Amino acid sequence: MKHKIFALGVTLICMLGLTACGSSIQKNTVAGSRYDEAVFTKDYLLSVAQTLEDDYFENMYLQGITPDNFKEKLEDSFDESMLDVFAAGYRNWYDAIDELGYSSPDTLSEDISVTHIDEFSYYVNKDGELMVDATIEGKGNNSHTAVLEYSLDRKGMPTLISVNVNHSLPEKLKSAGLNTLLGMGMAFTVLIIIALVISLFPLINKMTEKKPETSKEITQKSMETVTSQIAEKEELSDDDELVAVIAAAIAAYQGSATAGGDGFVVRSVRKVGKASNWKRA
């Protein structure tokens, strides 16, 4: 019994020790991470967010830069890796400014701004990257707030920038309902089109298949084929077989018993002007 109690106590001590080790990196600090907590303070992280929103994105917008021409106009201002990071962040911000709300481009810097960083909104994730969530607020009756999320490397350079608008629950439900209806509508439309195509298969088969010939048509074709073959044989004036047949017929008519028909010689065979007996038949 004592051994079991001792084993249980050791297990509890180990669990408490692991818990203490896990709490060395707190969610609202950079303590215990590879980042210098004296540099990456809350005020510093807030100033970075304000610089990204005010000095970069708003100035780009006022200069007429859009997500489509971003890389073309600013490819000389950033290196390749930074260009992709800022291009992705600017696209998110550009798509969100209408929902954030502002009066005019002249008052853009006053209407939209980064206001604060909440507690537990900056932390070092499991990959060892410093993640920061700053709040953006706009002005207007239908204005929304948004989260400017970014990550920094140890040199303080952004490795990720994104902007996500905070929608209310009714807005989320409305958006989800519209997406569901759109998806179901497209699915049913495709099914209806497929059903219509399948229903047309019998009609297509009837249009493409050949009608079976009647017995009368088959007989007529056979007679025409035989007649044409016989007529062709009659027209061959130099056909040896035809000459032999004619010679044998004449010999039989004259009552000659000789094989070659010695009483006459067939020198030529020519076609007469009038139709043959076969054609008259």
Query: By three-state DSSP, how is residue 28 classified?
Result: coil
Q: Which of 125, 124, 113, 116 is nearest to 40 (CA)?
A: 124
Residue 46's pLDDT is: 94
State residue 93's pLDDT score: 95
Please give the sequence-ordered ranges of beta strands (E in DSSP) within the chain, or none if there are none.
Answer: 113-116, 122-124, 130-137, 145-152, 158-165
Residue of 212, 103, 223, 95 whose CA lies nearest to 165: 95
Measured CA to CA, the distance from residue 272 to residue 250 in angstroms comes to 18
Question: Which pLDDT score is estimated for 147?
Answer: 94
Q: Which residue type does 262 have?
A: D
pLDDT at 222: 67
126-180 confidence digits (pLDDT tens): 888 899 999 999 887 778 899 999 999 988 899 999 999 998 888 788 888 888 9
Long-range contacts of 108-113 (CB under 8 A, 24+ apart): 108/58, 108/61, 108/62, 109/54, 109/58, 110/139, 111/138, 111/139, 111/140, 112/53, 112/58, 112/136, 112/137, 112/138, 112/139, 113/50, 113/53, 113/54, 113/137
Taking only the tens place, the pLDDT of each residue in 251-263 is 666 665 444 445 5
Confidence of residue 24 (pLDDT cuts 50, 70, 90): very low
pLDDT digits (tens, 9 = 90+) for 32-44: 788 888 889 999 9
Strand spans (E) along 61-179: 113-116, 122-124, 130-137, 145-152, 158-165
More confident residue, 96 or 140: 96
Q: Which pTM value belongs to this model?
A: 0.57
Q: Kindly tell me the sign of the dihedral angle through the C-alpha atoms of 8, 14, 17, 18.
A: negative
pLDDT of residue 22: 43
Q: What's the pLDDT band for 45 if we cut at 50, 70, 90?
A: very high
Please give the Cα distance from 212 to 235 (Å, whole number): 34
pLDDT beyond 80 at 227: no
* More confident position, 29 or 123: 123
Task: Answer whether residue 18 shows pLDDT above 90.
Answer: no
- Domain borders along the chain are 24-169, 219-280
